[in-house]
């Protein structure tokens, strides 16, 4: 069961890095804390597997758990502004991303990808969403997430 959970987390990590990182940490915690108690480990792993199967639940942010919430999770790691501002920014950033990646062969065009990164950096800088020194890293992560979410973002 541990190996199945680990494989599932690994296979889906890029679809929602923050969410699956938390699941991976929970898995490691279960294995480490209950390594001597197989019965409790099995019970805890069964609960974790059920959580994994359910996926990310809707929460009080009002964001779509598939197309928007993963972006907020990345922004939350870097941003110092209030959650409501992060939510608003997430909606606007996802809209910017959707508009750009609809371009035919976007992912084959490094110039368009660079332009998207620069647009995201400009957006974050104009709104002081993220400290300057972290904007480029977050922009890269947002674009990578958009690449993995392409099918969801373009439908």
Distance, in Å, from the CA atom of 4 to the CA atom of 11, rounded to the nearest integer, reads 10
Structural domain span for residue 139:
69-153
pTM over 0.75: yes
Question: Are both 100 and 141 inside the same structural domain?
Answer: yes
Residue 60 lies in a domain: no
Question: Are both 74 and 48 inside the same structural domain?
Answer: no
Residue 87 lies in a domain: yes
Q: Which pLDDT band, with edges at 50, 70 and 90, does 107 fall under?
A: very high
Q: Is the pLDDT of residue 86 over 90?
A: yes
What phi and psi, each to the nearest 5 degrees, are found at residue 27?
-60, -45
Distance, in Å, from the CA atom of 18 to the CA atom of 9, rounded to the nearest integer, reads 11
**pLDDT for residue 154:** 94
């Amino acid at each position: 069961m541990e190996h199945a959970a680990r494989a599932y987390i690994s296979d889906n990590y890029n679809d929602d890095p923050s969410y699956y990182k938390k699941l991976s940490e929970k898995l490691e915690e279960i294995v480490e804390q209950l390594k001597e108690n197989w019965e409790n480990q099995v019970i805890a792993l069964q609960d974790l597997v059920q959580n994994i199967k359910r996926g990310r639940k809707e929460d009080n942010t009002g964001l779509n758990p598939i197309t928007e919430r993963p972006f907020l999770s990345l922004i939350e790691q870097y941003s110092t502004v209030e959650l409501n501002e992060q939510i608003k920014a997430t909606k606007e950033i996802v809209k910017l991303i959707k508009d750009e990646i609809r371009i035919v062969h976007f992912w084959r065009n490094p110039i368009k990808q660079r332009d998207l990164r620069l647009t995201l950096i400009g957006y974050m800088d104009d709104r002081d969403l993220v400290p300057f020194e972290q904007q480029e890293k977050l922009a890269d992560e947002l674009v990578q997430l958009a690449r993995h979410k392409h099918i969801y973002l373009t439908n």
